[in-house]
Amino acid sequence: MANDLLKRKKGIIFGALDEKSIAWKTALKCYEEGAQLVLTNAPVALRMGEINKLAEQCGNAPVVGADVTNMDDLKNLFQKAMEHFGGGFDFILHSIGMSLNVRKGKHYTEMNYEWNQKTLDISAMSLHKVLRTAWDMDALNEWASVVALTYIAAQRVFPDYNEMADAKDLLESVTRMFGYYYGQKKKVRVNTVSQSPTRTTAGSGVKGFDSFIDYAEKMSPLGNASAEDCAKYIALLFSDYTRMVTMQNLFHDGGFSFTGVSEKLMS
Protein backbone atom coordinates (compact mmCIF):
# COMPACT_ATOMS: atom_id res chain seq x y z
CA MET A 1 0.00 0.00 0.00
CA ALA A 2 1.47 3.36 -1.04
CA ASN A 3 -0.41 6.42 -2.17
CA ASP A 4 2.10 9.15 -2.82
CA LEU A 5 0.99 10.72 0.44
CA LEU A 6 4.31 12.48 0.85
CA LYS A 7 5.08 13.46 -2.74
CA ARG A 8 7.33 16.53 -2.77
CA LYS A 9 7.72 16.36 1.03
CA LYS A 10 11.14 16.39 2.62
CA GLY A 11 12.09 15.49 6.14
CA ILE A 12 14.58 14.36 8.75
CA ILE A 13 14.29 11.05 10.60
CA PHE A 14 15.99 10.84 14.00
CA GLY A 15 16.69 7.54 15.69
CA ALA A 16 16.83 4.70 13.14
CA LEU A 17 19.11 2.22 14.91
CA ASP A 18 18.39 -1.04 13.13
CA GLU A 19 15.68 -2.86 11.20
CA LYS A 20 13.48 -3.23 14.26
CA SER A 21 13.37 0.52 14.97
CA ILE A 22 10.13 2.37 14.45
CA ALA A 23 12.22 5.18 12.96
CA TRP A 24 13.74 2.74 10.46
CA LYS A 25 10.35 1.54 9.32
CA THR A 26 9.04 5.10 9.23
CA ALA A 27 11.90 6.14 6.97
CA LEU A 28 11.12 3.30 4.58
CA LYS A 29 7.43 4.13 4.62
CA CYS A 30 7.98 7.84 4.04
CA TYR A 31 10.29 7.07 1.15
CA GLU A 32 7.72 4.69 -0.29
CA GLU A 33 5.14 7.47 -0.03
CA GLY A 34 7.31 9.76 -2.11
CA ALA A 35 9.32 11.72 0.47
CA GLN A 36 12.97 12.72 0.33
CA LEU A 37 14.89 12.05 3.51
CA VAL A 38 17.88 12.91 5.60
CA LEU A 39 18.76 10.35 8.25
CA THR A 40 20.45 11.07 11.55
CA ASN A 41 21.42 9.39 14.76
CA ALA A 42 23.95 9.76 17.55
CA PRO A 43 27.55 9.32 16.37
CA VAL A 44 27.94 6.21 18.54
CA ALA A 45 24.86 4.65 16.92
CA LEU A 46 26.10 5.51 13.44
CA ARG A 47 29.31 3.65 14.07
CA MET A 48 27.33 0.41 14.13
CA GLY A 49 26.93 1.09 10.43
CA GLU A 50 23.47 -0.39 9.96
CA ILE A 51 21.95 2.94 9.01
CA ASN A 52 23.83 2.94 5.69
CA LYS A 53 21.69 0.02 4.57
CA LEU A 54 18.63 2.10 5.32
CA ALA A 55 20.07 5.10 3.49
CA GLU A 56 20.52 3.00 0.36
CA GLN A 57 16.94 1.77 0.53
CA CYS A 58 15.79 5.38 0.81
CA GLY A 59 17.32 6.58 -2.46
CA ASN A 60 20.77 7.18 -1.00
CA ALA A 61 19.55 9.55 1.66
CA PRO A 62 22.37 11.48 3.35
CA VAL A 63 23.29 10.31 6.83
CA VAL A 64 24.44 13.02 9.21
CA GLY A 65 25.53 12.28 12.76
CA ALA A 66 24.26 14.50 15.55
CA ASP A 67 24.20 14.42 19.31
CA VAL A 68 20.68 15.75 19.99
CA THR A 69 21.78 17.44 23.19
CA ASN A 70 24.35 19.51 21.32
CA MET A 71 23.10 22.66 19.61
CA ASP A 72 26.13 22.84 17.30
CA ASP A 73 25.54 19.31 16.07
CA LEU A 74 21.91 20.11 15.43
CA LYS A 75 22.78 23.27 13.58
CA ASN A 76 25.22 21.36 11.41
CA LEU A 77 22.61 18.69 10.71
CA PHE A 78 19.97 21.22 9.73
CA GLN A 79 22.42 23.08 7.50
CA LYS A 80 23.39 19.91 5.67
CA ALA A 81 19.74 18.95 5.32
CA MET A 82 18.80 22.33 3.91
CA GLU A 83 21.67 22.17 1.46
CA HIS A 84 20.59 18.70 0.38
CA PHE A 85 16.93 19.66 0.06
CA GLY A 86 17.71 23.02 -1.50
CA GLY A 87 15.82 24.89 1.21
CA GLY A 88 13.36 24.25 4.02
CA PHE A 89 11.70 20.94 4.75
CA ASP A 90 8.36 19.51 5.86
CA PHE A 91 8.65 16.96 8.62
CA ILE A 92 10.73 15.64 11.48
CA LEU A 93 10.47 12.36 13.35
CA HIS A 94 11.88 12.43 16.89
CA SER A 95 12.32 8.81 17.96
CA ILE A 96 14.85 9.23 20.70
CA GLY A 97 15.04 7.86 24.19
CA MET A 98 17.77 6.69 26.46
CA SER A 99 17.87 5.95 30.16
CA LEU A 100 21.07 5.07 31.91
CA ASN A 101 19.15 4.25 35.08
CA VAL A 102 17.09 1.68 33.17
CA ARG A 103 20.13 0.25 31.42
CA LYS A 104 22.06 -0.16 34.61
CA GLY A 105 19.13 -1.59 36.51
CA LYS A 106 18.71 1.25 39.00
CA HIS A 107 15.31 1.16 40.70
CA TYR A 108 13.19 4.33 40.36
CA THR A 109 13.53 5.03 44.06
CA GLU A 110 17.30 4.69 43.86
CA MET A 111 18.03 6.57 40.66
CA ASN A 112 21.34 8.23 39.97
CA TYR A 113 20.44 11.90 39.54
CA GLU A 114 23.21 12.72 37.12
CA TRP A 115 22.07 9.93 34.85
CA ASN A 116 18.53 11.16 35.28
CA GLN A 117 19.55 14.60 34.05
CA LYS A 118 21.01 12.95 30.95
CA THR A 119 17.84 10.93 30.46
CA LEU A 120 15.68 14.04 30.56
CA ASP A 121 18.06 15.91 28.30
CA ILE A 122 18.39 13.18 25.66
CA SER A 123 14.83 11.87 25.77
CA ALA A 124 12.79 15.04 26.26
CA MET A 125 14.56 18.37 26.11
CA SER A 126 16.18 17.20 22.86
CA LEU A 127 12.81 17.83 21.22
CA HIS A 128 13.04 21.42 22.39
CA LYS A 129 16.54 21.69 20.98
CA VAL A 130 15.52 20.21 17.64
CA LEU A 131 12.51 22.52 17.32
CA ARG A 132 14.46 25.53 18.44
CA THR A 133 17.18 24.86 15.89
CA ALA A 134 14.50 24.65 13.20
CA TRP A 135 12.92 27.83 14.56
CA ASP A 136 16.18 29.78 14.66
CA MET A 137 17.19 28.69 11.15
CA ASP A 138 13.65 28.93 9.81
CA ALA A 139 14.18 25.41 8.51
CA LEU A 140 10.60 24.17 8.47
CA ASN A 141 8.17 25.08 5.72
CA GLU A 142 4.68 26.32 6.45
CA TRP A 143 2.40 23.46 7.51
CA ALA A 144 5.36 21.28 8.41
CA SER A 145 4.70 18.40 10.81
CA VAL A 146 6.78 17.18 13.72
CA VAL A 147 6.12 13.86 15.48
CA ALA A 148 7.77 12.53 18.62
CA LEU A 149 7.29 9.01 19.92
CA THR A 150 6.03 8.59 23.45
CA TYR A 151 4.46 5.98 25.71
CA ILE A 152 1.39 5.72 27.94
CA ALA A 153 3.63 5.56 31.03
CA ALA A 154 3.39 9.35 30.81
CA GLN A 155 -0.26 9.05 31.89
CA ARG A 156 -0.33 6.01 34.15
CA VAL A 157 2.31 4.14 36.13
CA PHE A 158 3.99 1.17 34.46
CA PRO A 159 6.66 0.45 37.07
CA ASP A 160 9.30 -1.10 34.82
CA TYR A 161 9.32 1.98 32.64
CA ASN A 162 11.14 3.76 35.47
CA GLU A 163 12.40 7.31 34.88
CA MET A 164 11.44 7.10 31.19
CA ALA A 165 7.86 7.75 32.38
CA ASP A 166 8.96 11.13 33.70
CA ALA A 167 10.95 11.81 30.52
CA LYS A 168 7.93 11.07 28.33
CA ASP A 169 5.77 13.39 30.42
CA LEU A 170 8.30 16.13 29.90
CA LEU A 171 8.46 15.34 26.19
CA GLU A 172 4.69 15.66 25.87
CA SER A 173 4.76 19.00 27.64
CA VAL A 174 7.45 20.32 25.30
CA THR A 175 5.28 19.13 22.41
CA ARG A 176 2.35 21.23 23.60
CA MET A 177 4.40 24.29 24.50
CA PHE A 178 6.50 24.46 21.36
CA GLY A 179 3.51 23.37 19.30
CA TYR A 180 1.66 26.43 20.51
CA TYR A 181 4.42 28.80 19.46
CA TYR A 182 5.32 27.13 16.18
CA GLY A 183 1.65 26.82 15.22
CA GLN A 184 1.12 30.52 15.72
CA LYS A 185 4.32 31.50 13.97
CA LYS A 186 4.32 29.31 10.90
CA LYS A 187 1.44 26.80 10.99
CA VAL A 188 3.86 24.06 12.05
CA ARG A 189 2.18 21.28 13.98
CA VAL A 190 3.79 19.17 16.71
CA ASN A 191 2.29 15.96 18.09
CA THR A 192 3.30 12.83 19.94
CA VAL A 193 2.33 9.29 18.99
CA SER A 194 1.86 7.00 21.97
CA GLN A 195 2.62 3.58 20.58
CA SER A 196 1.93 0.05 21.87
CA PRO A 197 4.92 -1.63 23.53
CA THR A 198 7.09 -2.67 20.59
CA ARG A 199 9.90 -5.22 20.40
CA THR A 200 12.65 -2.86 19.29
CA THR A 201 16.28 -3.15 20.31
CA ALA A 202 15.76 -0.19 22.65
CA GLY A 203 12.56 -1.68 24.10
CA SER A 204 14.31 -4.93 24.95
CA GLY A 205 16.35 -3.12 27.55
CA VAL A 206 13.31 -2.82 29.79
CA LYS A 207 12.94 -5.47 32.50
CA GLY A 208 9.94 -7.77 32.22
CA PHE A 209 9.25 -6.54 28.72
CA ASP A 210 8.10 -9.81 27.21
CA SER A 211 5.43 -10.55 29.75
CA PHE A 212 4.31 -6.96 29.53
CA ILE A 213 3.90 -7.16 25.74
CA ASP A 214 1.73 -10.18 26.33
CA TYR A 215 -0.34 -8.29 28.90
CA ALA A 216 -0.86 -5.38 26.50
CA GLU A 217 -1.79 -7.76 23.68
CA LYS A 218 -4.52 -9.29 25.84
CA MET A 219 -5.74 -5.91 27.03
CA SER A 220 -6.01 -4.26 23.60
CA PRO A 221 -9.17 -5.03 21.64
CA LEU A 222 -7.20 -4.92 18.37
CA GLY A 223 -4.02 -6.36 19.86
CA ASN A 224 -0.75 -4.45 20.00
CA ALA A 225 0.09 -2.13 17.10
CA SER A 226 3.23 -3.24 15.23
CA ALA A 227 6.17 -1.03 14.28
CA GLU A 228 4.96 -1.21 10.64
CA ASP A 229 1.51 0.03 11.63
CA CYS A 230 3.14 2.85 13.54
CA ALA A 231 5.28 3.82 10.55
CA LYS A 232 2.14 4.10 8.40
CA TYR A 233 0.42 6.22 11.00
CA ILE A 234 3.37 8.58 11.33
CA ALA A 235 3.68 8.94 7.54
CA LEU A 236 0.09 10.05 7.50
CA LEU A 237 0.71 12.58 10.24
CA PHE A 238 3.35 14.08 7.94
CA SER A 239 0.83 14.33 5.09
CA ASP A 240 -1.54 17.18 4.31
CA TYR A 241 -4.49 15.11 5.56
CA THR A 242 -3.75 16.05 9.15
CA ARG A 243 -2.95 19.73 8.86
CA MET A 244 -5.15 20.94 11.69
CA VAL A 245 -4.06 18.40 14.32
CA THR A 246 -1.54 19.83 16.73
CA MET A 247 -0.41 19.69 20.36
CA GLN A 248 -2.01 16.27 20.68
CA ASN A 249 -0.90 13.00 22.15
CA LEU A 250 -2.28 10.38 19.76
CA PHE A 251 -2.63 6.83 21.06
CA HIS A 252 -1.75 4.22 18.46
CA ASP A 253 -2.26 1.13 20.54
CA GLY A 254 -5.17 -1.04 19.44
CA GLY A 255 -7.40 0.49 22.09
CA PHE A 256 -5.17 -0.25 25.10
CA SER A 257 -5.38 3.29 26.45
CA PHE A 258 -9.14 3.23 27.00
CA THR A 259 -9.54 -0.36 28.10
CA GLY A 260 -9.72 -0.68 31.88
CA VAL A 261 -9.78 -4.43 31.86
CA SER A 262 -10.50 -7.00 29.17
CA GLU A 263 -12.32 -10.29 29.28
CA LYS A 264 -9.26 -11.99 27.80
CA LEU A 265 -7.16 -10.74 30.68
CA MET A 266 -9.64 -11.72 33.38
CA SER A 267 -9.94 -15.29 32.06
Nearer to a second copy, 49 or 109 (CB): 109
- DSSP for 63-77 reads EEE--TT-HHHHHHH
Say how many residues make up the chain. 267
Nearer to a second copy, 83 or 214 (CB): 214
Distance separating alpha carbons of residues 78 and 138, to the nearest angstrom: 10
Closest CB 50 distance from a second copy, rounded Å: 26
Reduced to 3 states (helix: H, G, I; strand: E, B; else coil), residue 39 is strand
Q: Which is nearer to a second copy, 50 or 166 (CB)?
A: 166
Classify strands 140-150 and 89-94 as parallel, antiparallel or unpaired.
Answer: parallel
Q: Smaller CB distance to a second copy: residue 63 or 191?
A: 191
Instruction: Name which of 37 and 235 has its Cβ closer to a second copy.
Output: 235
Instruction: For residue 176, give every residue at least 6 positions away whose Cβ sits within 8 Å of its Cβ, in sequence order, or none.
Output: 190, 247
How would you list the strands of the sheet with 249-252, edge to edge? 63-65, 36-41, 10-14, 89-94, 140-150, 189-195, 249-252
**Closest distance between a second copy and the C-beta of residue 83, in Å?**
24
Give the nearest distance from C-beta 195 to a second copy in angstroms. 9
Minimum Å distance from CB 248 to a second copy?
6
Least gap, CB of 192 to a second copy (angstroms): 11
